[in-house]
Structure 1
């Protein structure tokens, strides 16, 4: 429908209470009309005054939106004649579907191996937590984070020289942060290393992906704990590794099971300080057996120490790296648990023999982690705030762990929650007649978020259970969550 003043565009709706600017809303509304075919090539738009009056916005707003569409080539401005729909759109529409009811042929792109083969094998990660609730896993006690100190350090960083804060950072990671991490590993985890062995990543999963692409050819076997860490599992699958599910018991990964399934493995992934998700600490005999198996197969070992700082037992669990005399262990750490997840900051302690390889990989295609994040964390560590924060968190997690165990006594007979020595999740093993999938669904419907052990498994497990995160949940909410589970289980 047309009139002398141009096409009627009163279908465009403007919400002046919305966060998006009015000029942007108008621009997007006009653009949608142009691309959808509501306006034909050659149609004239109303004068800017007329359009402003019809829609209820200022003429300046209309001119701004139209100028943007003219610059994109969707509209043509003709001096003395007005503004018209560009003829370029006619060719665009000929490439897409034409009349209603006609066959629409859309080009089907050829997907990569990862998209066609790896993606269906990924474990689901759709439930990454954003806010605390019982019993969300992988989320630390954000309510106890010293935000005021962090804000002060952040403001101080942004007041520094612009070349320092806005340019490209050091390719392997900020030198001050690499040094601070090396000192921290030596003091708290018993690992002696040089800052040059530390490489900074955009989180631990990024590190796993680079390690896999650097060391594992597609189809080569990688020992992987069953059950095991989902993020690492997906990273190795994405790069084409053939994951070998290796059983886990109270002493950690069962080396004999791994040798029976794949004696000539290329890589082994383990969480020895706090097995993910079962919570076991790998025994010394298993550690030595794993190191021997790696030597015999000429393989490397990836140690994921995702929450090793948060021990609250008598002694901190030792790292595998601290007893590695063969330089075969690649140690991976993260600040997602010790600080907060959105920081997206992790690191790798490389064996001396791989430092050159990491440097070449970083120089070739990894442009580094934002300097600001690294600088603030470095200051946080250098000024003693990190150590203070870790001590505080240990006490908080001990209290919440003990609260969960005490409250979970009400569930005995249906579920037994296992005590742990570190971290902020525990496993509740279910009675034989109960289904973990059913429990997870019913709990979620009641507002309690849990994860079934099967979600972490590459191969079927002998026992069923659910993983209960308590790090981000207050003691009162832990008790309320257990009450909800009691109604479901009993």
Structure 2
């Protein structure tokens, strides 16, 4: 380092004036890195603020602010009449820089030991599914049809609310008006008789699953889990130490008799009755009563994930499992990620009356709540009737997009992929011929910019199904048609009988 009487020469410090980062932040970060990496030694004198400002072509006020921030972190110290120096404390305590191995065969440092629960759970975690709004990404609402101008006005109104409401800690149980609005909506539209005190607002459905699992499960407790089933819920429950029992699913939903054979002593069951994730079937009323009876006998509880059940466009929807639960066994989980948009990170669950007190206690102890402003906007959106109008409009849009997918598939995918029609939700599945494997098909589609997900990805045990999951809700009809033709081209490229006269 070149020295001069004015202190260390810091002319190598580069300021990018085209960057969106503040100059103060750039200078602070650069000097901090020099100190921590050893570029500036303990005890070394820094230039005077006036000198450094002149060297860098910035204001002295900026340099003084940088020095104050560095001093607050204990990285520099001022000495009266002498100047500003790198802290002597770093002589002994500077973090050691990682050095590359000198020998190619040298072993890296061992990883920190994980808890047994997470070590086991991590073996079941998959990489996050892609969430780009393109054909045929799943779980994507129609961003193009969302009333953004209306939402912006509502947001602006609530940001003018009292500062302690907008900026302070929110109620860990949820914003009162939103809890009331959700309870009213569920009573009127989902047949669930509940009180606002039973509604708990959380940062998305996955947080609800983890909170419920943490409260109810001991390590290795048995959980009936649909196979194939919802990935997010699976990850949350295994992170709680659950022993997931893969439960086969048919056209009538989870096969209760098989569950009684495999694990009659289950502690919890996870189901998606309105629109099975990912197969799309609706649990029959007979199966719902059988599941409730089994849970009552085992003194178990049930998580009902109603992630997209609001979007039934094929006639009158089946009642929710919660609405026919007479014994208080069902914990109903809903989300605004699908009904509104994912960036809200807003979900809720309905506690059985017997668990309200303990959920209150846990929420008070561990949760800080989700931003009040977001909750307030959603509450107004519901109270003023915009939410119900939005749901009705989305049902029509999704029904149209589903039909476009089915029509395009009949024209372009016959013999390659058989689309299974659905009357609910944001996605459906397509079944592949036996001689075309789903992972190979998904990889070929991905190379052409098409997202389709193998059913196997949702499975915790092998199933007999060979197919792909296709989302249709988040893309416009012309893009659905274009996506189908591109998918057909991709599948033809890997189908062993392509070009030999496919027979439907």
Q: What TM-score results when the alignment is normalised by the length of structure 2?
A: 0.91
- Structure 1 CA distance, aligned partners of 2:168 and 2:71? 34
Equivalent position of 2:258 in the other structure: 257
Moved more, 288-297 or 111-120: 111-120
1:384 CA drift (Å): 0.5
- Summarize the Cα distance change of 1:252–1:69 in structure 2 as closer, same or farther, 3 Å threshold: same
Match of 1:117 among 104, 108, 120: 120
Q: CA, structure 1 residues 100+454, in 2 after alignment: closer, same or farther (shift >3 Å)?
A: closer
> Larger deviation: 328-337 or 153-162?
153-162
Instruction: Give the Cα–Cα distance (whole angstroms) in 2 for the partners of residues 433 and 379 of structure 1.
Output: 53
The separation in 2 between residues aligned to 1:370 and 1:61, in whole angstroms, is 33
Residue number in structure 1 paired with 2:176? 175
The superposition leaves residues 177-224 of structure 1 with CA deviations (integer Å, 9 ceiling, x where unpaired) of 222112211211122222222121111111111111111111110000
Q: What's the counterpart of residue 91 of structure 1?
A: 92
Equivalent positions of 1:224-303 (< 5 A) are 224-303=225-304
Structure 2 residues not aligned, in runs of 5+: 493-504
**Alpha-carbon distance in 1 for matches of 2:37, 2:490:** 50
Question: Which SS does the other structure have where 2:339 is aligned?
Answer: coil
Measure, in 1, the Cα distance between the counterparts of 2:231 and 2:338: 15
Q: CA contact under 8 A between 2:199 and 2:348: conserved in structure 1?
A: yes
**Cα distance in structure 2, aligned partners of 1:441 and 1:421:** 28
For residue 121 of structure 1, give the secondary structure of its aligned residue in structure 2: coil
Secondary structure of 1:472's aligned partner: coil
| Equivalent residue, structure 1, for 2:28 | 27
Q: Deviations over 1:440-475 (max 9, x none)?
A: 222222111221111111011212211111111011
Q: Distance in 2 between matches of 1:480 and 1:100?
A: 51
Q: Which residue of structure 2 aligns with residue 414 of structure 1?
A: 416
Q: CA deviation at 1:42?
A: 2.4
Confirm whether residue 341 of structure 1 aligns to residue 351 of structure 2.
no
Structure 1, unmatched stretches of 5+, are none
Instruction: Provide the secondary structure at the position in 2 that maps to 1:235.
Output: helix
In structure 2, distance between residues paired with 1:389 and 1:479: 25
Deviations 1:270-323 (A, max 9, x none): 001000011000112211221121122121111110111111002123211122
User: Which deviates the most, 316-325 or 106-115?
Assistant: 106-115
Q: Secondary structure at the match of 1:459?
A: coil
CA contact (8 A) 1:218 1:240 kept: yes
Aligned pair 1:158/2:156, yes or no?
no
Cα offset for 1:53? 4.3
Task: Give the SS at the match of 1:224.
Answer: strand
User: What is aligned with 2:185?
Assistant: 184
SS of residue matched to 2:28: helix
Q: 1:326 to 1:97 in 2, by over 3 A?
A: closer
Report if the CA contact (8 A) 1:247-1:253 is conserved.
yes
Q: 1:201–1:368: 8 Å Cα contact kept in structure 2?
A: yes
1:305-345 Cα offsets, whole Å, 9 max, x none, are 01111110021232111222222111111111001111111
- Does structure 2 retain, via aligned residues, the 8 Å contact 1:303–1:321? yes
Kept in 1, the 8 Å contact 2:444–2:491? The answer is no
User: What's the CA shift string for 1:102-158, capped at 9, x where partnerless?
Assistant: 999979644323332222222332x352x4111111110111111122122222222
Judge conservation of contact 2:46–2:85 (CA < 8 Å) in 1. yes
Counterparts of 2:489 and 2:366 in 1: how far apart (Å)? 53
Equivalent residue of 2:45, what SS?
coil
Distance change (3 Å), C-alpha of 1:100 and 1:284: closer
Q: CA deviation at 1:32?
A: 0.8
For the Cα contact (< 8 Å) 2:223–2:243, is it kept in 1? yes
What is the aligned residue count? Answer: 488
Residues 99 and 51 (structure 1 numbering): CA distance in 2 closer, same or farther, change over 3 Å? Answer: farther
SS of alignment partner, residue 357 of structure 1: helix
Query: Quick check: 284-293 or 395-404, which moved more?
Result: 284-293
Alpha carbons 1:123, 1:456 under 8 Å: kept: no
**SS of structure 1 residue aligned to 2:283:** coil
Aligned partners of 2:445 and 2:491 also within 8 Å: no
- Once residues 333 and 354 of structure 2 are traced to their aligned partners in structure 1, the CA distance between those partners, rounded to angstroms, is 16
Shift in Å, 1:52 = 3.6
Contact 1:336 1:344 survives alignment (8 Å): yes
Change (3 A) 1:71 1:162: closer
Q: Indicate the residue corresponding to 1:2 in structure 2.
A: 2
State the partner residue of 2:485. Answer: 483
Indicate the SS of the match to 1:337: helix
Q: Tell me how far apart the structure 1 counterparts of residues 309 and 343 of structure 2 sit (CA, whole Å).
A: 19
- Counterparts of 2:213 and 2:183 in 1: how far apart (Å)? 23
> How far apart, in 2, do the equivalents of 1:94 and 1:167 lie?
36
Taking only aligned residues, the RMSD between alpha carbons, in angstroms, comes to 2.3
Task: State which drifts further: 214-223 or 36-45.
Answer: 36-45
